[in-house]
Amino acid sequence: MEKGKLRNPYSRQGRWFKGNLHTHTTRSGDGEFSPQEVIEWYKSHGYDFLAITDHNHFTT
């Protein structure tokens, strides 16, 4: 690799996943949609993973 040049990580073969690591629902107080509505929207738009990051909620 030439010094100072960045490689495009998506040009390599492999399996890529589409996801969102930060979204809120109505349970957070600042989201527009219920948890189930959020899950369904992301699923219907081809996302592989989703992290719901509502305020003051912790689940395992």
37 CA to centre of own chain: 15
Burial class of residue 38 in the structure, from the number of CB atoms within 10 Å of its CB (0-12 exposed, 13-18 middle, 19+ buried): buried
Q: Is the pTM of this model over 0.95?
A: no
Q: Show me where the domains of the chain are located.
A: 16-52
How much is the pLDDT for 60? 66
Kindly state the average pLDDT of the residues 13-30. 92
**Cβ(37)–Cβ(31) below 8 Å:** no
21 CA to centre of own chain: 4
Q: What are phi and psi of 35, to 5 degrees?
A: -55, -45
For the stretch 22-48, pLDDT in tens is 999 999 889 999 999 999 999 999 999
56 or 44: whose pLDDT is higher? 44
**Distance between CA 39 and CA 20 in Å, rounded?**
11
